[in-house]
Structure 1
Amino acid sequence: MFVPSIDLVDASQASLYSSLSFFGSVILKNGQVDQIKSLINQTGSTLYWAYAKSVDEAVQLWDVGVLKVIFDLDVYQQAQQELAGMVSEDRIAVTTGSPVAVQGVSTVIVVTSDVDAVKTFAADNAGLLAHGGEKTFVVALEESSVSIDAIATLGADHVDVLVPASLLTTATDDTSKLNIAEAFLATAKTDRPDGLYTTMVVDEFNKALGLVYSSKQSVAESIRLGQGVYQSRGRGLWHKGLTSGATQTLKRIDYDCDGDALRFVVEQHGAGFCHLNTRTCFGADSGITALEKTLKERKNNAPEGSYTARLFGDAKLLRAKIMEEAEELCDATDKEEVAWEAADLIYFALTKCVSAGVSLADIEKNLNKKARKVTRRAGNAKPKWEEKSATPAAPTPAAAPAAVDTGRIEMMKFDLTSISKQKRDELLLRPIIDSTEIIKRVTPIMQEVRKGGDAAIRNFTRQFDRVELEQHTITAPFDPAQMELDPATKAAIDQAYDNIYKFHDAQLDKETLVVETMPGVVCSRFSRPIERVGLYVPGGTAVLPSTTLMLGIPAKVAGCRDIVIATPPRSDGSVVPEVLYVAHKVGASHVVKAGGAQAVAAMAYGTETVPKVDKIFGPGNQYVTAAKMVAQNDTSCLVAIDMPAGPSEVLVIADMSSNPAYVAADLLSQAEHGADSQVVLLAVDLTEEHLKKIEDEVHDQAMALPRCDIIRKSIPHSFSLSMKTLEEAMEFSNDYAPEHLILHLEDAPGAVCKVENAGSVFVGQYSPESFGDYASGTNHTLPTYGYSRMYSGVNTNGFVKHITSQECTAEGMDRLADTVMRLAEIEGLDAHRNAVAVRVKDLRK
């Protein structure tokens, strides 16, 4: 088998991080503990091996999630006794310059060109480990000797080959390097005449989904795309879910102990793996994964009166049940009773997890990380629980505060000169958004609102927002007492309102366009407001007057007759006063206290108290976006939407004139939106020193921000891309088509003419994205996910429709008649021709 090795100081190898994370034995070289921790968080893999120079460093590596630590032989021999009582042998490897028998380790890595000596050594020292599995032997050859044949030949003698990532590629047409799939399959076996490999597909919990077949081509595509791709015996290459939407995200790929069966570990999306619409090809799901699926369905579409729905809607009840069942489990004694009470506790605990958006996969990731740790806590219970214990316990000190993650926050780094065209294309892609499952959840909610009206909205608000409302729609004029603001807040909103109004008022077509296309033929175009518009303002606990301004002002400028605003209520059932104040200023007729799909449905279909609208605007989470798409595609609904939407994103272009602190601040201002935010830095001819200053500022500023935990998730999957010229940067930016484009350039205004695709552009070091978000005047509801290639951000023209008219005199009729009659004859539309002919006959008597 091949054992890939990543040199973490070589930025050119970063493009392979995600592809190599699919494998079980990946060696990390020259990495600091914080950097390795960041990589583990980024890829989710806890199967890495890493080098340590001391026991202390090894402990740090094990604690952050490294599976196996590699010591130089002399370091290991000095620490052997200490390590023996600390970890099992399967967590330790040694590296040596010549074959040497070593006790207490699971792997020996030999750096040598003497292949025969390693083969003999492996044969003489083979054996099983105390905790299962076998000892492994890895040879590190000179790079010129590493080949597919060498991996296959040595694999037959139970010797693995260390392969530097610098020699690997995911490209199938790059003959200068080894394709990762071919290196992986070099030691796999198949006895099938067609050369296909039997492949078991399992989920993250190793539950079998189905049996398929793989080829070198399909494995290469899986690794390249990070998805489930297989080889159909009848149809060729099979991209799982390409037509059904039941796609798979690849998590891991390996093969069994004999090398004659592959295993794909995947995250299954959509209805399931099987064409019979079940999660597995072996029938319906069962056990804890089935319970998770049921709870997720109940959360979004629980039957009326369902106990589970009540749990989701009543946090206090759920908390009480968890504590009650935990106590009953503690008191249980016989086997059946313990099993019964444990099942109850798992049910309520998983309900809590699903309510918080936590999946079983998330839990298992944390279990894997905890299992890798070697340092241990004292394990004492907190004092309040010790006091409740039937057995008196010795007093213990108060629990220490939770450790704060201080690991370095950094983006991935690439250089345009050292990456392939294929990798450049990959960097332009956004994460795949599989909306199939979300639409399945959203559609029943919308149908229920369409059928049940106001009562359905109140029910869903009780279920999802945990707020009991007697009246969910308030109409203008709004109660002044509910709009009271402090003077500073009111002044800020008023100034933002004035700037945004001024800019959007200038966009309105106030004059009729009139063109005489030929003598006697006059064409015109004029605008009319869309009569009824719905504005979705995310909220609840958040305060978002800015979104209300950005949507409400262009609606007011356009002259829309009915402006309906939907926003989730606060815990006390009220609307955020800042939002209500803006609703009053823009002349909204209704404010609906509802969020999510039910709010979109209320505006799309109308209810007893919510007017049906003609077009819906506004950002929101994936459920709001899916609901807008469902409404738009429902022809019986007759509603339009502003644009599709994905996660927030920013692309910053910076040259040597840029201020590192400003650049970092702009990157972070978008990274804090969510874990899936997209953040890109294009470094134009920056020195390593200047780029490092930006990287340092990203970490330092992030650590001081309240939403640092979110940034820790979004920044590691973001990237910087270095290049030599501004032309290269602008070309990449236009291909990427970002939502926000920020120009930190010496001649930033001069670069604007080169922008072809972007939602909004921020020119120069004193134009932060925050200005556009709040008060400069431009709109902050912008196309994401690359949609700025074909969509504009929200603007006044989105709230109007344009109507054309034409007026012809007798002269115009005479001049144009023959042309129109001839074209109608060609198309065989005689009634069209006749409508002209009866008129021109009278004119030409």
Structure 2
Amino acid sequence: MHSMAVFLPLLDEQGLDWIPVLSRIGPIVIPPSQFTDLPGHRYYITLENTPDATLDHILSWLNEGVEKVILPLTLAKELISAGVPSERLCLLLDVRNVSALTDTVRNGVSGVFLKTRTIDIDLISSVSTFFATSSIHVLPGTTSPPSVSTIRALLATGAKPVIPTSQLTLSPTSQSQINVADVFLAPIISDRPDALFPTIVSSETGHSLGLVYSSVESVRESIITGKGVYQSRKHGLWRKGETSGATQEVLHIRLDCDSDSLEFRVKQRGAGFCHLNRQSCFGEVNGLPALESTLRSRLEQSPKGSYTRRLFDDPALLQSKIMEEADELCRAEAQKDVAFEAADLLYFVLAKCIQAGVGIAEIEQSIDAKAKRVTRRPGNAKPQWTKEPKTTTSLSTKQLSLQNQISGPKIRMRTVDLAEITPEDRLQLMRRPVLKSDEMISKVKPIVDDVRIRGDAALLELTAKFDKVQLKSTVILPPFASETMEIGDEVRAAIDQAYSNIYKFHAAQLDKEPLVVETMPGVVCTRFARPIGRVGLYVPGGTAILPSTALMLGIPAQVAGCKEIVLATPPRADGSISPEVMYVAHRVGASTILKAGGAQAVAAMAYGTTTVPKVDKIFGPGNQWVTAAKMLVQNDTDALVSIDMPAGPSEVLVMADYSANPAFVAADLLSQAEHGADSQVVLVAINLSAEKLVEIEREVDVQANALTRVAIVRESIPKSIIVKTYSTEEAITFSNEYAPEHLILHLEDASERVAEIENAGSVFVGAFTPESCGDYASGTNHTLPTNGYARQFSGVNTLSFQKHITSQQISSEGLKRLGPVVATLADCEGLDAHANAVRIRLSAN
């Protein structure tokens, strides 16, 4: 959403805390190092001090949502020649060099940033005339901000000031700093006797909620707090929802084109904006916003058995209805029929979105983000949709869906022969997708810092923002209410059996007895284990239900005797945690449940808040945001926290010889391929015939097309590889080099070959040991090293939750034997005090 920006704030080194405030009133100018791609934030990137920025870097920033780039002349010429739209380019220019520009450059940019020592209104006015089609922004090289009157004079010429955040303040304006509300309201004019400004309040999607009035004081408070604050004509400041609970989160504030009224774009909480408990003072909303509201209420309250509840509870049904309605819309021709079928499709599409915590506002943000891309894909349909499906009324929706999927190209892996590739190609086979750790860490750092500094307040805001849930508290403490753990008898029995198996295996790993060794007479060395006191367990969730991860992390923590177990998992759409995870948390003795996900949950556990205990070590899988946050906090000495291991996409390496069942092999490959498009799937074929390989690939294609997650498999399997080898020894050598997360042995002599495995997260031995059993209930742990880290990391186990302390006790006689050795070595290193600590005792003996 674009606003009539009065000024542009320039984020300096100390300005990160300003981002939430400034994003409410317009775009922010930042250096590339401070770019964080967060929805709702508008950025201009300045390349003044970035000499190594390339065309690819700049196109990448623009594609990721940067609104404009501010470029020196040389780079500007390069991007204009490359065909980048002028509305995305601004020219950084010294005021003295304006006349030297060509028409190509002048017409190829939409904005000019003028560097000037002082603000010369006449000069700037002439520059503004010269760049008649571009916006003019002035960067004065002064240590104090422009006054309100100077800002008004600049605006009168068509120019706007750029003000560093170090010159802005939330306190009253002084000689060295100007209040941000004073700058924002500099051009506004009121023709009312009470000097108030008419203010339109609208929803996230731009639908009018009501008309109110604002004052300088109310606008200032709204900018600072992010809450809806207005000016009542009778009662003074009106903090919306202060008594009713129908509060507002301010997303954007903007002036109209005549600078005599305001618009507040807000996220409305509670019953609605109107005092009649309606969303809008102008009557009930309709259309898509009304449908969104209805679906949200149905998700939270609809009874079991209702149609909408069936849609939310049955992903396969919802998927089938979307595909059915899309097909009917494609076939509709008459205007009335197109509108009718489009309405049906939108209903089911929006149901899918609401189920995933996505609303119309997020869809519009995604549309806006796509519109900002400067490089485009061809836009051709994927192969499975390029053929016209057969028209028949005898097939069910599910059958038609399956038929359409099969009509696409076969799902196939690519094949390499180890005997025919170069050493460089072999090394390339070992590589996993490049993890842009530095880039992700820079994106999560503002989130982590926000939680570290503001604690629970930041955690609640970020949970509302990212998990789409408004909570009063993010923690649940035991004893957990029985109604939060209500699950079916069959699921409970399955969890209990898995708990028993996993507990038994991890209890056997416990390091119970001290290790005592007398290294020489009178010298006794001991090593003993102690549990890590406080551990944090991250269980991915939200719309997913992952009790298995809670079991895999909670049981070894329980067995090890950790005193505090903090289990973090994203809340569901209604703010609750899935009863299956709650039940596991109860069984493993969790001391706190944190209802939060992503980087904010990791930060809360790493630093602690008023309500969330600080932990000593963080465990658990997660997406790239979680992984980056874990890597960030473990390197922060203020956090004093460690993590279990680096993480990456799921992996499986399946080793198969002539005895392998093709259907079993295909099923094992697909069980990892469905995790995500970046899953790593490898089949090492040991001297298999062409017919056997064809049979395996046919099974992969047939089984994949029967899966609900076939779309993901269509992306991951073509990136996967079949590696042809000619002996079991050659296959095992390759596997040890690859160091997979999961290794499955479909070998005639599988049990005997386990002794040769040197690098793997977990090994699955024989035809009847699917990887799924290790994921859920055999007893081993499923939190395993990926990305080849199985060379140096173990999977999570009981010892992961223990630390080992050593001690030594030396008798007088023992020191007589050992002391001279120590003193000699200390003298060798020139450490006299060390030698003295021994000799003073020997002389007293």
Q: What is the TM-score with the length of structure 1 in the denominator?
A: 0.58
Cα pair distance change 1:279/1:699, threshold 3 Å: farther
> What secondary structure is seen at the aligned counterpart in 2 of 1:417?
helix
- Quick one: distance in 2 between partners of 1:277 and 1:444? 25
Structure 1 residue 313: deviation in Å? 10
2:100 is the counterpart of 1:306 = no
- Quick one: distance in 2 between partners of 1:425 and 1:680? 15
Partner of 1:831: 833
Structure 1 residue 356: deviation in Å? 11
> What secondary structure is seen at the aligned counterpart in 1 of 2:419?
coil
2:370 is the counterpart of 1:354 = no
Cα pair distance change 1:371/1:553, threshold 3 Å: closer
Cα pair distance change 1:821/1:656, threshold 3 Å: same
- Quick one: distance in 1 between partners of 2:388 and 2:720? 33
2:729 is the counterpart of 1:723 = no
AA aligned opposite 1:493:
I
Structure 1 residue 311: deviation in Å? 8.4
Partner of 1:577: 579
Structure 1 residue 365: deviation in Å? 2.5
Structure 1 residue 275: deviation in Å? 14
Structure 1 contact 247–270 (Cα < 8 Å) conserved: no
Cα pair distance change 1:358/1:771, threshold 3 Å: farther
2:443 is the counterpart of 1:441 = yes
Partner of 1:651: 653
- Quick one: distance in 2 between partners of 1:778 and 1:279? 61
Structure 1 residue 362: deviation in Å? 11
- Quick one: distance in 2 between partners of 1:602 and 1:317? 40
- Quick one: distance in 1 between partners of 2:775 and 2:456? 33
Partner of residue 539 from structure 1, selected from 531, 541, 545 = 541
After superposition, the CA RMSD in angstroms is: 4.0
2:507 is the counterpart of 1:505 = yes
Structure 1 residue 604: deviation in Å? 0.4
Aligned residue runs from structure 1 range 358-507, under 5 A = 364-365=376-377, 367-369=379-381, 404=405, 406-507=408-509
Cα pair distance change 1:270/1:540, threshold 3 Å: closer
2:48 is the counterpart of 1:282 = no
AA aligned opposite 1:692:
V
> What secondary structure is seen at the aligned counterpart in 2 of 1:468?
coil
Identical aligned residues as a percent: 56
Structure 1 residue 357: deviation in Å? 9.3
How many residues align structurally?
532
Cα pair distance change 1:755/1:281, threshold 3 Å: farther
Structure 1 residue 512: deviation in Å? 0.5
Structure 1 residue 437: deviation in Å? 2.5
Partner of 1:748: 750
> What secondary structure is seen at the aligned counterpart in 2 of 1:364?
coil
AA aligned opposite 2:805:
I
Aligned residue runs from structure 1 range 79-98, under 5 A = none
Cα pair distance change 1:833/1:287, threshold 3 Å: farther
- Quick one: distance in 2 between partners of 1:554 and 1:758? 20
Partner of 1:606: 608
Cα pair distance change 1:371/1:552, threshold 3 Å: closer
AA aligned opposite 2:548:
S
> What secondary structure is seen at the aligned counterpart in 1 of 2:825?
helix
- Quick one: distance in 1 between partners of 2:589 and 2:286? 41
Structure 1 contact 246–271 (Cα < 8 Å) conserved: no
Cα pair distance change 1:275/1:728, threshold 3 Å: farther
Structure 1 residue 375: deviation in Å? 9.1
Partner of 2:808: 806
Partner of 1:662: 664
AA aligned opposite 1:282:
A
Structure 1 residue 282: deviation in Å? 3.0
Which deviates the most, 439-448 or 611-620?
Answer: 439-448
Structure 2 contact 64–369 (Cα < 8 Å) conserved: no
Unaligned runs of at least 5 residues, structure 2: 1-49, 91-203, 205-223, 227-249, 254-263, 270-284, 293-359, 390-399
- Quick one: distance in 2 between partners of 1:280 and 1:551? 55
Structure 1 contact 500–776 (Cα < 8 Å) conserved: yes
- Quick one: distance in 1 between partners of 2:268 and 2:677? 26
- Quick one: distance in 1 between partners of 2:508 and 2:628? 33
> What secondary structure is seen at the aligned counterpart in 1 of 2:605?
helix
Partner of 2:709: 707
Cα pair distance change 1:625/1:313, threshold 3 Å: farther
Partner of 2:561: 559
Structure 1 contact 313–464 (Cα < 8 Å) conserved: no
- Quick one: distance in 2 between partners of 1:412 and 1:822? 64
Partner of residue 525 from structure 1, selected from 519, 527, 533 = 527
Partner of 2:687: 685
Structure 2 contact 681–721 (Cα < 8 Å) conserved: yes
Cα pair distance change 1:495/1:826, threshold 3 Å: same
> What secondary structure is seen at the aligned counterpart in 2 of 1:780?
coil
AA aligned opposite 1:819:
V
Structure 1 residue 406: deviation in Å? 3.0
Q: What is the TM-score with the length of structure 2 in the denominator?
A: 0.58
Aligned residue runs from structure 1 range 131-170, under 5 A = none
> What secondary structure is seen at the aligned counterpart in 1 of 2:379?
helix
Deviations for 1:392-442, whole angstroms, at most 9, x for unmatched residues?
A: xxxxxxxx9995463211111111122222211111111111123321221
Which deviates the most, 565-574 or 408-417?
Answer: 408-417
- Quick one: distance in 1 between partners of 2:810 and 2:526? 12
AA aligned opposite 1:665:
A
Structure 1 residue 306: deviation in Å? 2.9
Partner of residue 673 from structure 2, selected from 671, 685, 691 = 671
Cα pair distance change 1:278/1:664, threshold 3 Å: farther
AA aligned opposite 1:475:
L
Aligned residue runs from structure 1 range 256-335, under 5 A = 281-282=75-76, 304=226, 305-307=250-252, 320=289
Structure 1 contact 554–795 (Cα < 8 Å) conserved: yes
Structure 1 residue 318: deviation in Å? 12
- Quick one: distance in 1 between partners of 2:804 and 2:544? 36
AA aligned opposite 1:307:
H
- Quick one: distance in 2 between partners of 1:734 and 1:244? 44
AA aligned opposite 2:796:
V
